[in-house]
Structure 1
């Protein structure tokens, strides 16, 4: 569990505490009310967040050239609503009690994780940056122990609450810094499950290869294959989608990608991106299109943004 220090109560962080108090109060509201508020917040963000709006529209133009401008515009608007709903979903994952959260979802495919556990083999849980990723991981760990990752925050209060929220209803010590490769490998060799999402552009300094994503060469980190190899682990994907009728979530665990690691990091990245693309095409409005996925380009190629 995260430690409480005197620094957290310095006056400079009082406003942050007030914000978390309001966030906790909003999490007490009925689920459908929170989702309606999220849609409203998303419509407001569409008007105000011009840079993010341009990024989302550019990504959709690159990835769905077969769609008309009107179709991509409508998809981007729904995506902004989904992204804003994720703010409330994060509050749900951090603050709701287990009994309330268990009413919200169904899970399919647990037998793949259970088979790996029975064999004493670790699992790299292939995550994807759908907007509700905080809640999706928390829902799965209600049915099977999962170790998650987090990025330390510069604000110590936010960092404390983030770590506390992600460990809420999970095993103590299950959340690992995303840069702590040694701890991840140790967890995998002990037969644990470590969530890992390689579908963002982490910049040119992180070891990567270029592999197609929606037909575009995308900088894809090679850490997934390295974790599997060093942790002697399987790669098992999972997804988490918000139901169209507003009744909750469908969490699905897929069979292991048994052909990985192949010894060829580029081939591995290509297979992983292909799988992620298939899942994104099934539910594009809930994917994180506001991220500049193609910002790192092969040498000599111009920026796509």
Structure 2
């Protein structure tokens, strides 16, 4: 079924998904809609339960998370790292519940509990008239944080399509209501058109995309395969690159959005220097709330030595 999904083109017309094979997905979407309309504290509690359930049942993902946190936080004790692993699953479980909020609720409902920091940095960057590349990351607040951002700025977004076409249709249509344009992950022409129109575009570089067009730049002190496309985009378009992040407050239901000053001397002409700056900037944002990052991803999968068996082999 998964392979058949990938052969289907993107189709956001819900009438195309009437066949019974889509009914299980429709049931899941209906459940997400129902949960999205529960009180926020209850949703967070359900997210914690879901996160802990995955923590106990998904041994492979737990191993990846444990490996990443061991590599990235050597200064922590074994007990502290174990606690961070557990907290990471809880935070991403809550993020799973927040998908429904991002897709089925109006973000205006959450403006009273949302704080924005450094908006002036974005406004300064956009004044150059050449567009802004919003340098984001895969935080557990990914979809809801993006929806909240669009209440303060106009932005387009680049997305990797979901393997399930119906789920992708729901996700895409929800994002089309929030963002100006929803661009495919490989739609560079669309990206440059948006930047030429002085739009802001949400863009993330913090995952392992394989060995093509990368350099190995330190990320939490570990050489990590980092794409060089960000430098090419900024060089060709003249756009500003503005790091931003979003976190969930722990003390009470609420969210914080952070805009940082645009990267200086970027691109520098040195791909490794640029990638190092990007990684260190994202690292600083992650350290605001380390548990709220997507540590379940094999960030260090691609190694400088192709024969290196890597960090994720299980004994």
Query: Is the CA contact (8 Å cut-off) linking 1:242 and 1:250 kept in structure 2?
Result: yes
TM-score (norm 1): 0.95
Instruction: State yes or no: 1:251 paired with 2:260.
Output: no
Aligned Cα root-mean-square deviation (Å): 1.6
Q: Secondary structure at the match of 2:155?
A: coil
Query: Is the CA contact (8 Å cut-off) linking 1:222 and 1:269 kept in structure 2?
Result: yes
Match of 1:184 in 2: 191
Gap regions ≥5 residues in structure 2: 1-9
50, 54, 58: which one pairs with 1:45? 54
Give the CA deviation at 1:268.
0.2
Gap regions ≥5 residues in structure 1: none
Instruction: State yes or no: 1:197 paired with 2:231.
Output: no
Give the CA deviation at 1:131.
1.1
Query: Is the CA contact (8 Å cut-off) linking 2:125 and 2:242 kept in structure 1?
Result: no
Give the CA deviation at 1:276.
1.2
Match of 1:297 in 2: 303
Match of 1:231 in 2: 237
Give the stretch that moved more between structures: 278-287 or 59-68.
Answer: 278-287
Query: Is the CA contact (8 Å cut-off) linking 1:2 and 1:163 kept in structure 2?
Result: no
**Per-residue displacement from partner, 1:64-122 (whole Å, max 9, x unpaired)?**
11211111000100000001111111111111124313233111222222223333121
Give the CA deviation at 1:3.
3.9
293, 301, 304: which one pairs with 1:287? 293
Change (3 A) 1:176 1:13: same
TM-score (norm 2): 0.92
Cα distance in 2, alignment partners of residues 112 and 31 from structure 1 = 31
63, 66, 85: which one pairs with 2:94? 85
Query: Is the CA contact (8 Å cut-off) linking 1:167 and 1:175 kept in structure 2?
Result: yes
**Per-residue displacement from partner, 1:196-227 (whole Å, max 9, x unpaired)?**
111110112x3111001111110001111111
Instruction: Give the total of aligned pairs.
Output: 302
Change (3 A) 1:261 1:45: same
